[in-house]
Structure 1
Amino acid sequence: MASISSTPLLNSTSLSPLRFPNFSSPSPFAGSCRFLNRNLGSSLSPTVNRSGGAIMAAASMQGVVTEAMNLIQTASPSWKSAVANNVLIFVLGSPLLVTGLSASGIAAAFLLGTLTWRAYGSAGFLLVAAYFVLGTAATKVKMSEKEAQGVAEKKKGRRGPRSVIGSSAAGCVCAILSIYQVGGSAFSQLFRLGFVSSFCTKVSDTVSSEIGKAFGKTTYLATTFKIVPRGTEGAMSVEGTLAGLLASFFLASVGCFLGQITPPEAAVCVLASQIANLGESIIGASFQDKEGFKWLNNDVVNVINISLGSIVAILMQQFILQNWVK
């Protein structure tokens, strides 16, 4: 078996990926934070002049806000800046979050967002946010019709912590490996690629399933091509498959635009996601809900799916992009 060398990998990162403007500089929220800080300071001025107690309270308040702004503007992600950014974004984005997540699901998503920001900064966070928005939108498509057919996600598509963890487990592993620099700098881009590919895989799976249930004219079992009702485990439709492919392409493009991956790696993510989703359909059709496999629920299948997406992408990067097959 060929060994993995760091040299070809480093060559792959010498490519010039498309970069999101100023993501190497402080957080994209820095400008608005500075504006808020200036205005907060000026609005406190009349209060400061009223009494000594008000002066102390205002000074203390401004000190807290200044510290928070400094954390948010931190160029190099830290645990403190990750938490500060997530608190700000989750408060501002709460109207959207409650449409797609339960209260406990939001708590799990906050942990995911903090971990993602610590590992990959604002660019990685925006990638996950794009996944969430696209997946939630697809889930809501023709919700009433899917509910009438009995194939809709429970609770109007509001997902709980098990779903959040099942959809992000592989990405979280890649993020942790990146944070603690396992394998050194030579492996950092591999873990980043695995992170992006896991979410490309999951968004493709979610969109293909939801669009297939909403618009699929004919659904087939992945193993036998037998025609089955919509929503059957392991079933596929042309409409859903095409929608999932486009969703994966979109998210991989976002990852490329944000500088997380290179254009060739974006293509790898798309291909890996389709291979993983085919594998998930085969597993679902062959084993899910079968005797002896009651433990194989949707959350477990999700973990298998995104793990396949990450692993396949990493292997393709090493053995195809780097031309390791002699």
Structure 2
Amino acid sequence: MPAPTTMTMTMRAAGGDIIAAVTSAHPGLLVGTIASGAVTVAGYKVLAKGLDAVGIVNAFVLGTLAFAAFGAGGYGMVCLYFLFGTAVTKVKLAQKEKEGIAEARGGKRTWRSVWGSGLAAAICAAFALATGSYETFAAGFAACFASKLGDTTSSEIGKAYGTRTYLSTTFREVPRGTEGAVSLEGSLAGVAAALAMSVVSLPLGLASSPSVAALVFVSAVIANYAESILGATVQTKSEESTGIVALLTNDVVNVLQTSLASLIAVLVCGNFV
């Protein structure tokens, strides 16, 4: 067997370096940009089912930060949120459209939705890259998406299957789709979704232990309840609420909700876990 040439050895070494970089727990921005770009191009048709064109560009930025800071595990959580969030949004979509409570644009999300869902996670990724405190900010990153998938699932399943919906503040019965309203069906589905994301954060390498995964779950549930209070008091314009803060749109409330989940997880993980 002939000895490998210098070029062959160089190519093998380069291939090994590429694999090591991509599979690294914290690959950095260059690798993150390349990986996120490759997935965005390859999966454009899938992304286009849940995002408009500008939303896809912004999702690429979010994915870059996720991969750069937390590797394939972080990017995997973003993908899981997108896939399951899109799927649950389309559950009984025709019925929800008929009742006027469906997401606009056939359930497609915009750049506002991308950052409403992922801004807190992006900030956690940026701080992890800047400080090197990956374990702490990974918990915040996971809590962001656990909270948001729980909220999306609760809302969409509640709209589709909720038999009775109540405001979270007064517990008065209101129509399905009312901001800040909760249903038993939606609430159980939302808790299950948040729990699933929290459990998945372990094999994805975002939660360093079962106790951190439990922290992610608790943070998500607390933030989701706080979101329902905001929705019932200052966001919605229904007869059952005041709607006194016009700037608190759904996307802004989502940012506040996910930021609270991330903040709780980061503070507790950084100081007590």
**TM bucket by the smaller chain?**
0.7 to 0.9
Q: Residue 51 of structure 2 contacts residue 108 of structure 2 at CA under 8 Å; is this kept in 1?
A: yes
CA displacement at 1:317 relative to structure 2: 3.5
Give me the identity figure in percent.
43
Counterpart in the other structure of 2:96:
146
CA displacement at 1:70 relative to structure 2: 5.9
The structure-2 alpha-carbon separation of the partners of 1:317 and 1:154, relative to structure 1 and needing over 3 Å to count, comes to same
- Answering whether residue 117 of structure 2 is matched by residue 178 of structure 1, we say no
Most deviating of 172-181 and 70-79: 70-79
Q: Which residue, 296, 305, 325 being the options, matches 2:257?
A: 305
Counterpart in the other structure of 2:8:
none
Counterpart in the other structure of 1:136:
86
How far, CA to CA, are the matches of 2:19 and 2:151 in structure 1? 33
Within a 5 Å distance, the mapping from 1:154-303 to structure 2 comes to 154-181=104-131, 185=132, 187-261=133-207, 262-288=209-235, 289=237, 290=242, 292-303=244-255
Q: Residue 203 of structure 1 contacts residue 248 of structure 1 at CA under 8 Å; is this kept in 2?
A: yes
User: In the TM superposition, what whole-angstrom CA distance separates every residue of 1:212-253 from its partner, at most 9, and x where no partner exists?
Assistant: 000000000000000000110100001001101111111111
RMSD between aligned residues: 2.0
- Structure 1 gaps, min length 5: 1-62
The structure-2 alpha-carbon separation of the partners of 1:240 and 1:84, relative to structure 1 and needing over 3 Å to count, comes to same
CA displacement at 1:67 relative to structure 2: 7.9
Amino acid at match of 1:112: L
Counterpart in the other structure of 1:80:
30
Q: Residue 147 of structure 2 contacts residue 221 of structure 2 at CA under 8 Å; is this kept in 1?
A: yes
User: In the TM superposition, what whole-angstrom CA distance separates every residue of 1:75-109 from its partner, at most 9, and x where no partner exists?
Assistant: 44132211221122112222211110000000000
Normalising by structure 1, we get a TM-score of 0.73
For the pair shown, the structure with the greater C-alpha radius of gyration is 1
Q: Residue 72 of structure 1 contacts residue 81 of structure 1 at CA under 8 Å; is this kept in 2?
A: no
The structure-2 alpha-carbon separation of the partners of 1:291 and 1:156, relative to structure 1 and needing over 3 Å to count, comes to closer
Amino acid at match of 2:158: G
CA displacement at 1:128 relative to structure 2: 1.0
Amino acid at match of 1:86: S
How far, CA to CA, are the matches of 1:253 and 1:132 in structure 2? 17
The structure-2 alpha-carbon separation of the partners of 1:68 and 1:305, relative to structure 1 and needing over 3 Å to count, comes to farther
Counterpart in the other structure of 2:62:
112
Normalising by structure 2, we get a TM-score of 0.87
CA displacement at 1:318 relative to structure 2: 5.5
CA displacement at 1:274 relative to structure 2: 1.1
Counterpart in the other structure of 1:58:
none
How far, CA to CA, are the matches of 1:296 and 1:245 in structure 2? 24
The structure-2 alpha-carbon separation of the partners of 1:68 and 1:89, relative to structure 1 and needing over 3 Å to count, comes to farther
Q: Residue 28 of structure 2 contacts residue 129 of structure 2 at CA under 8 Å; is this kept in 1?
A: no
Amino acid at match of 1:284: G
Q: Residue 71 of structure 1 contacts residue 80 of structure 1 at CA under 8 Å; is this kept in 2?
A: no
The structure-2 alpha-carbon separation of the partners of 1:162 and 1:81, relative to structure 1 and needing over 3 Å to count, comes to same
SS in 1 for 2:202: helix
CA displacement at 1:207 relative to structure 2: 0.5
Q: Residue 69 of structure 2 contacts residue 134 of structure 2 at CA under 8 Å; is this kept in 1?
A: no
Amino acid at match of 2:188: L
The structure-2 alpha-carbon separation of the partners of 1:120 and 1:235, relative to structure 1 and needing over 3 Å to count, comes to same
CA displacement at 1:291 relative to structure 2: 5.3
